[in-house]
Amino acid sequence: MASKRFVHLDAARAAAALAIVVMHVTPLGRLDAPAGSADWRIMIAVNSLLRWAVPVFFMISGALFLDSERPQPVKSSGASRFCG
């Protein structure tokens, strides 16, 4: 059976992943920027504007992880999926 892909969700998850990488990499070049300087303000602005990415990435990943056509017993929906 071919797996169905949700291209729009995959694209949104890729955009969120890229935003998370940018959010983590942005301050690395300016660790010595004094508080209140223009570089510091840019870092804070970029970090604040990209905060949406983490929850969106997790929500989309969770939505794609579930399969409505496959029964999901409560017992198997927890740690047993990841631990073995």
| Residue 55, domain extent | 7-66
In a domain, 83, yes or no: no
d(CA 48, CA 29): 17
82 lies in some domain: no
Q: Name the phi and psi angles at 63, rounded to 5.
A: -65, -40
Is 60 inside a domain boundary?
Answer: yes
For residues 66 and 72, is the Cβ–Cβ distance under 8 A? yes
pLDDT at 27: 77
Q: Which of 83, 25, 81 is nearest to 53 (CA)?
A: 25
- Which tens digits make up the pLDDT trace of 43-78? 888 889 999 999 999 999 888 877 667 666 666 555
Q: Is the pTM of this model over 0.75?
A: no
> Structural domain tally of the chain?
1
72 part of a folded domain: no
